[in-house]
Amino acid sequence: MLTTFLRTVALGVRSLLLHKLRSFLTMLGILFGVASVVAMLAIGEGASEEAQAKFLELGSTNVIARSRKPSADSDSSAGMAARNARGVIYGLTFKDLDVIRGTISGVERVVGVRSVLKPTAHGSRNVEARLSGTTEDFLDVARVEIDRGRFLTTSDNLRRANVTVIGEEVRRQLFPFEDPIAKHIAIGGESFEVVGTMRSRGGASEKNFEGSDEDKVCFIPLATMETRFGFIDMQRSAGSRSTEQVELHEVRVRALSLDAVPDVAQAVRDVLKRLHEKDDVEVIVPLELLRTVEEQKRIWKAVLAAIAGISLLVGGIGVMNVMLATVTERTREIGVRRALGAKKRHVISQFLVETLVLSTAGGAIGVFLGIAIPFVVEHYADMKTVVRWDAVGLAFGISALVGVVFGLYPAMRAASMDPVEALRHE
């Protein structure tokens, strides 16, 4: 039974090799259909996984409010521009932090963060790092881990201590060969004692939401930051200088549970809307973004399914067309085989197997190409791709199905020929 099948397959291959170019061209339809589906699925899957990882990174129970510089447009038209001699004032304030903390229920932590870029140096080595002022509970609302030493404490903030916890990239650049713990580094001209180092957040999360390097960071107590550096930040851009005043860049609110996230998000939005007439804060809800990504993924898959369907239909029609021509061309062979004892089902299986060989060979090469394309894309376009094996299996299975569906009619036509007529055929 199996050997009969294998012999039929071998025969099919031989018959197809008789017309190499024709067989190859016929295969192309299925080949490109399968390859494009596998490749597009891998790229889509990679993109959504990357997006999901970014949003998960932000914490799925978090609601994050961020300061946003209002556009010049709304600035002038509203006439509300809080502009003073020193520059633009905008964004989250300590008042916002207190109101959120005091009025919203279902909240586990509310943590404020102030972030500015500061030159950071140790001896002759220096690096421009992000300086983040925050409190000890930042650890609870962000996916950061201490590698060595400790994180900031309550007393660091109370004492306004000059202590810092440095990210992996800062450690690597300032202390390539030394132990940084208890060493002093200069941040924006002030001396800070290194009390801890962070574990690298490398991999997919290497770049955060804004594309800055999550490992190139120094944490200091928020109170220390306020005392040493104030709220005014100098901006240099295209030769001109401007200053801006932002109290807090980010307020992270952690809900008690996933279920509480929507209510907390709504409450945070309401509070901020009340306190900010300008459009100078935005609220990011990772959970909502995740849902959006999932929705996009569903749509992407539906679109792909449609493309796959159409391209495989076109490929299938090509296969059927060629097989019908083959059957006509080989009418005499069919008659001879029937005379020599072939039953209808033998003829059907012969041509069906031939179509199957054609379509699954196209499918197999297509799968191979479909896996190779994302591989190339990943290397040269710096995009993450994920080849899912169930998708590969499905694409290949569909190519085989196309072979059966579009091979059946030509095969039946071959089998239904009258042996006498077939033998007389020129």
Partner 1 sequence: MTVSELGDRTDNAASAGGGAPRGEERPVILEARDIRRSYRMGGNVVHALDGVSFKVRQGDYWAIMGQSGSGKSTLLNLLGCLDRPTEGAYLLGGDDVAQLDDDDLAEIRGQRLGFIFQSFNLILQLTVLENIEVPLFYQGIPAREARERAQRYAELVGLGGRTHHRPLELSGGQQQRVAIARALVNEPLVILADEATGNLDSATGREILGLLDQLHVQGRTIIMVTHDPSIANRAEWVLRLKDGKIDRIEPGGKHPEGVRVPESH
Q: Would you count residue 333 as binding partner 1 (CB under 8 A)?
A: yes
Contacts with partner 1, 397-426, as mask; x by CB under 8 A: ----------------------xx--x---
> Per rule CB under 8 A, is residue 48 in the interface with partner 1?
no
The reply on whether position 21 binds partner 1 by CB under 8 A is no
Q: Does 336 bind partner 1 (CB under 8 A)?
A: yes
Which residue in the set 21, 105, 340, 389 belongs to the binding site for partner 1 (CB under 8 A)? 340
CB of 320 to partner 1, least distance (A): 21
Cβ neighbours for 410, distance < 8 A, ≥ 6 positions apart: 320, 323, 324, 326, 327, 351, 355
> Rounded CA gap, 40 and 402, in Å?
20
* 26 sits near partner 1 (criterion: CB under 8 A): no
Closer Cβ to partner 1, 178 or 418, answer by number = 418
Helix (H) or strand (E) holding 251: strand 250-255
- Which one, 4 or 235, has the nearer CB to partner 1? 4
Q: How far is the CB of 206 from partner 1 (least distance, A)?
A: 58
Range 346-375, binding partner 1 (CB under 8 A) = 346
Q: Per CB under 8 A, does 4 bind partner 1? A: yes
By the rule CB under 8 A, 20 interacts with partner 1: no
The sign of the dihedral angle between the CA atoms of 168, 235, 226, 193 is positive
Closest distance of CB 202 from partner 1, Å: 58
Helix (H) or strand (E) holding 318: helix 286-329
Cα distances (Å, whole numbers) of residue 75 to 4, 79, 277: 81, 6, 11
SS3 248: strand
Binds partner 1 by CB under 8 A, chosen from 102, 203, 230, 341:
341
Q: How far is the CB of 415 from partner 1 (least distance, A)?
A: 10
Q: How far apart are CA 18 and CA 65, in angstroms?
A: 69
Q: Which of 14, 86, 184, 207 binds partner 1 (CB under 8 A)?
A: 14
- How far is 256 from 61, CA to CA, in rounded Å? 7
Q: Is 14 helix (H, G, I), strand (E, B) or coil?
A: helix
Task: Decide if residue 184 touches partner 1 (CB under 8 A).
Answer: no
- Contact residue for partner 1 among 3, 124, 237, 240 (CB under 8 A): 3
Round to whole Å and give the CA distance between 374 and 389: 13
DSSP-derived 3-state class of residue 79: coil
CA distance 349 to 355: 10
Residue 22 as a binder of partner 1 (CB under 8 A): the answer is no
Q: Residue 343 interacts with partner 1 (CB under 8 A)?
A: yes
Q: State the burial class of residue 69 (Cβ atoms within 10 Å of its Cβ: 0-12, 13-18, 19+).
A: middle
344 binds partner 1 per the rule CB under 8 A:
yes
* Interacting residue ranges for partner 1, rule: CB under 8 A: 3-4, 7, 11, 14-15, 17-18, 332-333, 335-344, 346, 419-420, 423
